[in-house]
Amino acid sequence: MATRNPDPETGRVNLFDPEIGADPQPVYATLRSKCPVARSTFFDSPVISRYEDVVWGLRHPEIFSSAMEKQMALGTERPMIPQQIDPPAQTRYRRLLDPHFSRRKMEELAPAIRSQANALLDRFLARGECEFDSEFAVPLPCGAFLSLLGLPLSDLGDFLEIKDDIIRPGKRKGVPFVPIPEATAIRAEAGRRMYAYFGSVIDDRTASPRSDLLSSLVHAEIDGEKLSREEILDICFLLLLAGLDTVTATLGCSIAYLASHPEQRQRMVRDPSLIPGAVEELLRFETPVTGVPRIAKQDVTLHGVEIKQGSVVNFLLGAANTDGGHFENADEVDFARARNIHVAFGVGPHRCLGSHLARMEMRVALEEWHRRIPEYAIKPGETPRYSLGIREVMYLPLVWGARA
Query: pTM, whole model, 2 decimals?
Result: 0.93
Residue-level pLDDT at 1? 41
pLDDT reading at 370 higher than 70? yes
279: Cβ–Cβ under 8 A, 6 or more apart, which residues?
A: 254, 359, 362, 363, 366
pLDDT at position 103, please?
96
Assigned domain for 104 exists: yes
Asked, for residue 3, whether it belongs to a domain, the answer is no
> So what's the pLDDT on residue 36?
96
Q: Is 90 exceeded by the pLDDT of residue 181?
A: no
Structure confidence by residue, pLDDT tens digits, 121-136: 999 999 999 999 999 9
- Mean of the per-residue pLDDT values of the chain: 92
229-260 and 180-207 helices, crossing angle to 10°: 120
Do 185 and 74 form a contact (C-beta atoms < 8 A)? no
Calculate the CA dihedral of residues 170, 319, 313, 2 and round it to 10 degrees. -50
pLDDT band at 153 (very low <50, low <70, confident <90, very high): confident
Q: Which residue has the higher pLDDT, 213 or 16?
A: 213
- When divided into structural domains, the chain yields a total of 1
**Residue 7 domain-assigned (yes or no):** no
Among 5-19, 22-36, 386-400, which stretch is predicted with the lowest mean pLDDT? 5-19
185-211, pLDDT tens digit by residue? 999 999 999 999 999 999 999 999 999
pLDDT of residue 70: 67
The answer to whether residues 141 and 361 touch, using CB atoms and an 8 Å cutoff, is: yes
Q: Mean pLDDT highest for which of 4-8, 78-82, 365-369, 399-403?
A: 365-369
pLDDT score of 403 = 67
In a domain, 203, yes or no: yes
Give a yes or no: residue 5 inside a domain: no
Domain of 258, CATH number, reads 1.10.630.10
- 257-266: pLDDT as tens digits: 999 999 999 9
Percent of the chain with pLDDT over 90: 77
Q: What is the percent of the chain where pLDDT is above 70?
A: 98
pLDDT > 50? residue 65: yes
Of the two residues 247 and 15, the one the predictor is more confident about is 247
- The pLDDT assigned to 257 comes to 97
- Using omega within 30 degrees of 0 as the cis cutoff, is the peptide bond preceding 6 cis? yes
**Contact (Cβ atoms closer than 8 angstroms) between residue 217 and residue 203:** no
Domain that holds residue 264: 12-403
Calculate the dihedral angle through the C-alpha atoms of 252, 254, 256, 260, rounding to the nearest 10 degrees: 180
The greatest distance separating any two alpha carbons of the chain, rounded to the nearest whole angstrom, comes to: 63
Which pLDDT score, from 0 to 100, does residue 72 have? 67
Average pLDDT over every residue of 232-261: 93
Q: What is the mean pLDDT of residues 108-117?
A: 94
Nearest to 281 by CA among 335, 242, 243: 335
Residue 183 near residue 170, CB atoms below 8 Å: yes
CA 62 from centre of chain:
24
Tell me, yes or no, whether 292 lies in a domain. yes
CA 254 and chain centroid, separation: 13
**Is 148 a member of any domain?**
yes
The answer to whether residue 294 sits within a structural domain is yes
pLDDT of residue 3: 52
Q: Inform me whether the pLDDT recorded for 2 exceeds 60.
A: no
Across residues 284-304, what is the average pLDDT? 95
